[in-house]
Amino acid sequence: MGDDRRAVVVGAGIAGLSCAVRLQERGWSVRVLTDGPVEASTSHLAAAVWFPTRAGPRDKVLDWGRRTYDTLAAQARAGVPGVVMRESLALHRTEPGPQWWADAVGEIRPARPDELPPGYPYGLRFAVPLVEMPVYLPWLAAEAQRRGITLEHKHIASLAAAGEGADLVVNCAGLGARTLVGDLSVTPVRGQIVRVTNPGLTLSVRDEDHPGGRAYVHPRVHDCILGGTLDEGAWDTNPDPAVGAAIVRRCLDIAPALRGAEVLEHVAGLRPARPEVRLEAEPATAGRPRVIHDYGHGGSGITLSWGCADDVAALAGQA
């Protein structure tokens, strides 16, 4: 059972590349097929702080998220480019109860009054991985190629065509699964963010229940990502300046030190959402090899990536 097992992964976002690496680690010969460069993927736009968002089912999300947290934390310790552990503050206007995702992270403690911005009586402090995707995703693609994984730019019309000559196809097509496998339950959840200069912030801050909409501030090395929106069913990737201005106003509420930061750009992307993440195998047919699906991660692509890749590799080994 050496490198005679041939796998094709469709998609070169975080899901596809992490699956490719996990398969290679288990002895598969792997090719990754993608319509465009990794820089054109939805993953490349992601704010990419570990936090389960718009994904289900909850029990599996917790398990996948826990294992991804552990993998990214280990990568941060190893100095993998673009990955750091980031102190985080989740703000609340009422006393927060137990957080369903808490078992996946390390220590969580109540924030002290001096750690809270004006108007917030409650907060939770914890540390989670932050991933700078414009740094990490190209590194991961290069790491895949260093391991002997082939990346090919190719239009994929069908899984049968993708799997010619292979023993396994892994479908990480994201939103493309709507047409690739006819799964109309996959819908876009538009997310708009604003990128601004970093005035020296090191704390990631979020308010999931801000009256004006979701608000989060994620400091990176040279900038901060401000968000954001969850626009169900919206296909438009043109940023709306009015929405961007509203995001900045909300983020000033949770991180007043941003006042005066220069706006660098407005960005909008489409998260591939589904009622539940699809991670399952289908047997081979007369026209194509065995298929494993891994898509529909919503706003949790980075948060679930390595845990889902673990399960894909385990399924791949079950002949």
- Give 14-59 as a DSSP string: HHHHHHHHHHHHTT-EEEEEESS-GGGSHHHH---BS---S---HH
- For the domain made up of 6-85+129-186+274-316, give the CATH fold: Rossmann fold (3.40.50)
Answer yes or no: are the C-beta atoms of 154 and 228 closer than 8 Å.
no
Mean pLDDT over 151-165 rounds to 94
What is the predicted pLDDT for the residue at 46? 73
Tens of pLDDT, residue by residue over 182-233, are 999 999 999 999 999 999 999 999 999 999 999 999 999 999 999 999 999 9
Q: H or E segment at 315? A: helix 301-316
pLDDT at 30: 98
**78-120 tens-digit pLDDT:** 999 999 999 999 999 999 999 999 999 989 999 999 999 999 9
Domain ranges of the chain: 6-85+129-186+274-316
pLDDT at 45: 67
**Out of 26-40, 140-154, 178-192, 193-207, least confident range:** 26-40
Q: Give me the pLDDT at residue 233, please.
A: 95
Contacts of 12 (CB under 8 A, 6+ apart): 32, 33, 34, 37, 38, 41, 141, 151
